[in-house]
Homo-oligomer: A and B are copies of this chain.
Amino acid sequence: MATIKELALKAGVSKSTVSRVINNDPNVKDETRKHVLKIIKELDYKPNILARSMVTGSLPIVLIIVGDIQNHYFAKTVVGIERELTERNYMAVVYNSMYDVEREKKFIRMAKESRFSGIIPMTAVKNDDLEACLEDIDCPVVLINKDLKRKSLDAVFGNDFEAGYLSTQELINNGHKHIAYISGPYKSTVSAERERGYREALKDNEIEIDENIIFRGKLDIQSGYEIGEEIFKNEKITAVSSNNFLMALGVHRCGKKLGKPVLGEFDIACNETVPELYEESGFIFAGSDLEAIGVKAAQFLMKRIEKSDEPIQKVIFSATRVVNPKAKALVL
């Protein structure tokens, strides 16, 4: 593969001039530029990114750390990030931590060794751990659905409160009055916000909140199934809003198993967007556009990489209620 030196030789100019042409430096005579460009084409010359990065100090690579790329939440967001970065000739390296904190820490450490241009940690590590890991990092970082205490960083959020509110409101619109809720782990702000949305929606519709039909699950199908058993014991309940999709699915399976009129008289909502596969499932779901969140995060990062001195920003993307016209026509 041709180097800048060979190219310069063939073009009869110095390396410096070639470098200027490559980097669009205006201080080059038009004539010279054209000539060099011609030779570049002739030799099919591509600058060595490594050598360039060596002197500029950083690679055009952005590190993304996710819990599990098979999870829709991560996959969809990554698609957005990646699309935007590729557009600008940056690369995205995706690390799967498989929710292993030690692996995540290791990745962040590796990021320090390699001179990445930026990091988007969508990790599962607790915020305190994350904050410690990012302590002495010197490349731009953008957060997604996360906020740190001591360090202010650009961040992009989905609106979880809104998601909880909208899905619940939709259930109410459908005539439901006794709506159970399945929340997530205690500490998660995401879960808390979604639950708050549920509560607010009930209040705004003057429906009394019944703490006995607010459950707390472990986010997986099994957990949803077990809570479903509780829910279906209570004849009054005609709908459920779930923190997340998997638990909603568990309730659905449980209802089917018990022969309940699931997705007929009995409605199920969840407070996040779902894989496309499920968009016609008959579930109600509300959540923010993950791909858009990814794109925005990438844009933030690019700005920081380009040393913009805009003040730190946080963006919150509204949730929308997704109602597919075909929903209810098709069963899951």
A-side residues, CB < 8 A to B, are 46-51, 53-54, 59, 61, 68-70, 72, 75-76, 78-79, 82-83, 86, 89, 91-96, 98, 103, 110, 112-115, 221, 225, 246, 249, 253, 256-257, 275-277, 280, 329-332
Interface centre among A50, A94, A96 (most CB of B within 10 A): A50
Least CB distance from A88 to B in Å reads 12
Least CB distance from A328 to B in Å reads 11
| 5 tightest A-B CB contacts, nearest first | A256-B331, A46-B113, A70-B75, A49-B114, A253-B330
Verify A94–B94 contact, CB threshold 8 A: yes
Verify A329–B51 contact, CB threshold 8 A: no
Verify B61–A69 contact, CB threshold 8 A: no
Interface centre among A113, A256, A257, A275 (most CB of B within 10 A): A113
Using Cβ atoms and an 8 Å threshold, which residues of chain B touch A72? 70
Known interface pairs A49-B113, A330-B253; A61-B277 also in contact (CB < 8 Å):
no
* Complex CA–CA separation, A93 to B81 (angstroms): 13
Verify A75–B82 contact, CB threshold 8 A: no
* Complex CA–CA separation, A225 to B332 (angstroms): 12
Using Cβ atoms and an 8 Å threshold, which residues of chain B touch A54? 50-51, 54
Verify B61–A83 contact, CB threshold 8 A: no
Least CB distance from A188 to B in Å reads 21
Verify A47–B113 contact, CB threshold 8 A: yes
